[in-house]
Structure 1
Amino acid sequence: MATKMVITQPQPVMVIRDSEEWGSGICDCLENVPECCFAYWCCPCFACKTSKDYGEPLCLPLLEIFGGFVPPITMSMRVSMRHRYGIKGTLAEDCLYSACCTSCVWCQMSREMKRRNIPIVLVNAKNT
């Protein structure tokens, strides 16, 4: 007697968290003090780590050494993150925050990535 075994592959299940706002303010450093201290005392290292976590080249933020008043990499990463996560804002805000407090912007982006990390749950295969 032959039995037929059907196996279905597990499918990823994604939970989408919709929000049109940043999960934390630009100066909410008390949410993660060690991370903000790292960003304040060694912003280039922290920016490289955050850039890598975001999926961009590790040393991309180091190009800002050659920038002018507005750090171009910080601003473009902030704009990219707003677009990826559907966060409301303007280019003028991104420019202002990036120019006035680069460390705070990198901290905010790092917190946002941690908040919006979409978990993938695998569903077990069933024998039928």
Structure 2
Amino acid sequence: MSWPVRRQPSPLIVSSVEAEWASRICDCCDNKKECCFAFWCCPCFACKTTKRFGQCLCLPLLDIFSCCHPITMSMRVSVRHRYSIKGSLCKDCLCSTFCLPCVWCQMSREMNEQQLPTVFSDIFNR
């Protein structure tokens, strides 16, 4: 016995238009409170921002032990992809290596601009 199709699947619409960052990498003074927090305690600020993004709270602490910052770079790439922001892996790597607090501030400002909802982890549902 076959069931009649009552509704056809709707097409997936993907935008090919890429946006710019809401603020530049050195626009830290746009939010002085976050800027000071990131400058004086970057690991704490990075953990807070990572948690807001829906990732593991302690993930940025892995960056402490290396001269390059793979977690910061991957978070920046992830933010770019989520919000369809122009950029390149090379630029993400350079920014993450030389401007660490500025990168975290920029990602936080972008999430504020995009009004990212709070993500609750399902760790207790396993």
TM-score (norm 1): 0.75
Amino acid at match of 1:29: C
Structure with the higher helix share, 1 or 2:
2
- Indicate which of 61, 73, 76 corresponds to 2:74: 76
- Indicate which of 86, 89, 93 corresponds to 2:87: 89
Residues 91/19 of structure 1: CA separation in 2 closer, same or farther (3 Å cut): closer
Instruction: For 2:102 and 2:116, locate their aligned partners in 1 and report how far apart those are by CA, in whole Å.
Output: 24
* Structure with the larger RCO, 1 or 2 (CA within 8 Å, 6+ apart): 1
Divergent runs of 4+, >2 A:
none
Per the alignment, residue 36 of structure 1 pairs with 35
Residues 96/56 of structure 1: CA separation in 2 closer, same or farther (3 Å cut): same
User: How much identity, in percent, do the aligned residues show?
Assistant: 65
Q: Deviations over 1:58-93 (max 9, x none)?
A: 0100011222x3201000000001011000000000
State which structure, 1 or 2, has the greater radius of gyration over its C-alpha atoms.
1
Secondary structure in 1 aligned to 2:55? coil
Amino acid at match of 2:78: S
Instruction: For 1:19 and 1:111, locate their aligned partners in 2 and report how far apart those are by CA, in whole Å.
Output: 18
Per the alignment, residue 53 of structure 1 pairs with 52
TM-score (norm 2): 0.76
Amino acid at match of 2:44: C
Per the alignment, residue 66 of structure 1 pairs with 65
Amino acid at match of 2:41: C
Per the alignment, residue 101 of structure 2 pairs with 103
Question: Cα RMSD over matched residues?
Answer: 1.5
Amino acid at match of 1:33: K
Secondary structure in 1 aligned to 2:39? helix
User: Gaps (5+ residues) in structure 2?
Assistant: 1-16, 118-126
Instruction: For 1:65 and 1:37, locate their aligned partners in 2 and report how far apart those are by CA, in whole Å.
Output: 19
Question: Across the two proteins, how many residue pairs are aligned to each other?
Answer: 101
Instruction: For 2:48 and 2:116, locate their aligned partners in 1 and report how far apart those are by CA, in whole Å.
Output: 20
